[in-house]
């Protein structure tokens, strides 16, 4: 499976422009033969544009996710729309949640169908208004795509390894991590992503944004780690699309060769 990480430039509060850039990234990934493309955290609004969250919040059937669904269907490609500010008060489907706003990622299959919804579990409070403005999710995000079981987490979740163990125990062999990770915590970004791959012996792909808003600058560096924790692909801090082959059988081979996964005690 060819996985594309779309590290797009994000303009805080400019939903129309950000969705246009996401559209171009999806179309470019499809042209380059990708099977699945993943977008960054709050790609349409911009993570740090907190003052615009309320007016730019959308339900799952809102214009941003409808556009992404249409693109997945049109280009025959899976898409992780990761994430938007969801207005939970307007969500009336099979994924009930509290009222308020949530940081919500949606996985679309090749036909544009909604295959999984994940609401960020761990809300960031350090120099961030996220924990004050949003409500956390409660359920795991797991999607079946092609021959890969995909797990979904978001940014700050990287600091909580128990979530990743739960996802791996649910069968995930690839975990996608849409993010809005800023400078200066470059080493945290690199080490935590690599550690989640090593300890769960699975692929972990973290998709960051690019650009600045007020005094926050996203560090980019979207990356894919294999089940050994080896860096397979990575970027700098400028906009870029990275495409990498993901072999789900490699997870099985690594776990058989070095059986730490089987030796764990609960």
Enumerate the domain spans of the chain: 2-263
Q: What is the mean pLDDT of residues 238-252?
A: 96
pLDDT at residue 160, rounded to an integer: 98
User: From edge to edge, which strands make up the β-sheet containing 141-145?
Assistant: 141-145, 148-152, 174-178, 203-207, 223-225, 231-234
pLDDT at residue 238 in the model? 96
- Bridge partners for 174 per DSSP: 150, 203
Angle at CA of residue 115, ends 102 and 189, nearest 5°: 55
Would the pLDDT of 97 be above 90? no
Among 22, 23, 89, which residue's Cα sits nearest to residue 59? 89
Token pair for 236: 């700098």
Instruction: Determine the pLDDT at residue 93.
Output: 57
CA-CA distance, 76 to 79, in Å (whole number)? 10
2-263, CATH topology level: Nitrilase/N-carbamoyl-D-aminoacid amidohydrolase (3.60.110)
Residues in the chain, total: 266
Q: Choose among 255, 262, 266, 246: nearest CA to 1.
A: 246
pLDDT value at position 94? Answer: 52
Q: Is the pLDDT of residue 95 over 60?
A: no
Read off the pLDDT of residues 185-204 as tens digits, 9 standing for 90 and up. Answer: 999 999 999 999 999 999 99
**Segment 19-57, tens digit of pLDDT:** 999 999 999 999 999 999 999 999 999 999 999 999 999
For residue range 153-169, list pLDDT tens digits in order: 999 999 999 999 999 99
- At residue 232, does pLDDT exceed 90? yes
For residue 182, pLDDT beyond 80? yes
What local confidence, expressed as pLDDT, does residue 262 receive? 86
């Amino acid at each position: 499976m060819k996985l594309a990480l779309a590290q797009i430039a994000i303009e805080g509060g400019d939903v129309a422009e950000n969705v246009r850039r996401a559209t171009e990234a999806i179309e470019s990934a499809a042209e380059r033969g990708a099977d699945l493309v993943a977008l960054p955290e709050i790609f349409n609004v911009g993570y740090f544009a907190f003052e615009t969250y309320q007016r730019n919040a959308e339900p799952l059937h809102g214009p941003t996710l409808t556009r992404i669904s249409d693109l997945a269907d049109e280009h025959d490609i899976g898409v992780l729309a990761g994430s938007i500010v969801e207005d939970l008060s307007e969500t009336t489907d099979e994924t009930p949640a509290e009222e308020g706003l949530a940081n919500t990622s949606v996985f679309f299959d090749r036909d544009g169908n909604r295959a999984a919804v994940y609401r960020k579990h761990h809300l960031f409070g350090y120099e961030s208004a996220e924990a004050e403005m949003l409500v956390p999710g409660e359920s795991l995000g797991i999607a079946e795509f092609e021959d890969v079981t995909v797990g979904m987490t978001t940014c700050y979740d990287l600091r909580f390894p128990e979530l990743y163990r739960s996802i791996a125990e649910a069968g995930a062999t690839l975990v996608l991590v849409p993010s809005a990770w800023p400078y200066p915590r470059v080493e945290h970004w690199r080490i935590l992503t690599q550690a989640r791959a090593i300890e769960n012996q699975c692929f972990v792909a973290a998709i960051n944004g690019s650009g600045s808003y007020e005094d926050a600058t996203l560090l980019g560096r979207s990356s894919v780690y294999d089940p050994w924790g080896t860096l397979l692909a990575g970027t700098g801090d400028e906009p870029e699309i990275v495409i990498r082959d993901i072999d789900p059988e490699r997870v099985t081979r690594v776990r058989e060769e070095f059986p730490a996964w089987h030796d764990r005690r609960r």
